[in-house]
Amino acid sequence: MNQKINFRYVFNIFSTIIISLLCAILFLTAYYTYHWSQSILHPQRFIATGDSLKENNIEYQEVELITKDGLKLSAWYTPPKNGAVILLAHGYNDNRPESLYVMFAKHDYGVLAWDFRAHGESEGEFSTLGYYEQLDAEAALDFALAQQDVEVIGAWGGSMGAATMILTASQRTEIKAVVADSAFPSLADVLRLNMPFEFLHPLVIFFGQYQTGIQIENVNVEKVIADISPRAVYIIDGWQGGAIAMNSPYRLYDSANEPKQIWVEDDVPHLGMYGHNPQRYENRVIKFFDEYLLNK
């Protein structure tokens, strides 16, 4: 009798411990994935100073863009001297790229650079790495189209900005040429690259989709890049790290239709091509826009 009682007692204690451990594991898993998804949705904010523009005597205006969903975006605008404006779309966890702004303005291009939602000085509670950011890009495009002396519009994007501009250009034919530096093929690829435990992916996706109201498969650059044709796209990437893991540039190039160009170099990190060789970058990118925007 005592043996049976002791056995039941030990069994109950053991069962309680196992159930408690499982509950703790489930709780910690949910807690970790929720906070991981929140860290992605809420990037750090970095404020652009405009110092490089001032040092290079680039005249610009502080402007405000209004998106279709009512957000106010902080932006700079320099009118063109050659009739062409470049939309300048920065990457995730970043802000307006001043060095590239100066580069384009020095070649007489107009430039419109803005902080994406939830970045820099713009409104917005969260980032979707390309989905709602298309509304930001469209607000910039519509602003540029409404300006005097603007005859044609091109776009440069880096990382998230590159993905966003490809997505936007696939729908808005007013964008006549796109330079995509370090674009990712799809948001699902980014998740697989940055989330080490595959079994956690469904929870991360659930939390992200629940807060944003979007489906992760709707941010698929590889699927829509062909729609930019017959307008031109130039794919640039450094062959290191994530670019290799996702085979980003070659997947995008293979999916695109003509006219298309690609520039990939070994041992160059994400968004590092300009810093690796600024003069070569300037020569190639300006030549691309001169050809496809100005017919030079």
Read off the pLDDT of residues 71-91 as tens digits, 9 standing for 90 and up: 999 999 999 999 999 999 999
pLDDT at residue 17 in the model: 72
Measured in degrees and rounded to the nearest 5, phi and psi for residue 43 equal -70, 165
pTM, whole model, 2 decimals? Answer: 0.88
Residue 190 — very low, low, confident or very high, per pLDDT cuts 50/70/90?
confident
Judged against a pLDDT cut of 60, whether residue 139 lies above it is answered with yes
CA angle 59, 117, 246 (to 5 degrees): 105
Judged against a pLDDT cut of 70, whether residue 277 lies above it is answered with yes
pLDDT at residue 103 in the model: 98
Task: Collect all residues with Cβ–Cβ distance below 8 Å to 182 and sequence separation of at least 6.
Answer: 91, 158, 159, 162, 236, 237, 238, 243, 248, 270, 271, 273
pLDDT at residue 248 in the model: 96
- Better-predicted residue by pLDDT, 61 or 196: 61
Which range is least confidently modeled, 11-20, 108-117, 224-233, 274-283?
Answer: 11-20
Q: Which of 214, 130, 114 is nearest to 167 (CA)?
A: 130
In the predicted model, what is the mean pLDDT of the chain? 89
Judged against a pLDDT cut of 50, whether residue 1 lies above it is answered with no
51, 221 contact by CB (below 8 A): no
pLDDT at residue 50 in the model: 94
DSSP H or E segment with residue 37: helix 2-41
75 pairs with which residues across the strands?
Answer: 63, 114
Q: Which DSSP category does 220 fall into?
A: B
Judged against a pLDDT cut of 70, whether residue 40 lies above it is answered with yes
Q: Which DSSP category does 116 fall into?
A: P
Cα(45)–Cα(58) distance, integer angstroms: 24
What residue has token string 């826009």?
289
pLDDT at residue 247 in the model: 95
Domains of the chain: 42-185+220-294 (3.40.50.1820)
pLDDT at residue 22 in the model: 65
**Overall average pLDDT of the 111-133 stretch:** 94
The string of pLDDT tens digits covering residues 207-258 is 566 666 777 788 899 999 999 999 999 999 999 988 998 999 999 999 999 9
Cα(213)–Cα(273) distance, integer angstroms: 34
pLDDT at residue 84 in the model: 98
Helix axis angle, 201-212 to 187-194, nearest 10°? 130
- Better-predicted residue by pLDDT, 52 or 34: 52
User: What is the end-to-end Cα distance of the chain in Å, rounded?
Assistant: 98
Measured in degrees and rounded to the nearest 5, phi and psi for residue 205 equal -65, -40
DSSP secondary structure, 49-60, as one string: --HHHHHTT---
Cα(243)–Cα(249) distance, integer angstroms: 7
**Overall average pLDDT of the 147-163 stretch:** 97
pLDDT at residue 4 in the model: 52
pLDDT at residue 92 in the model: 94
DSSP H or E segment with residue 180: strand 175-181
Judged against a pLDDT cut of 50, whether residue 10 lies above it is answered with yes
**Overall average pLDDT of the 11-36 stretch:** 64
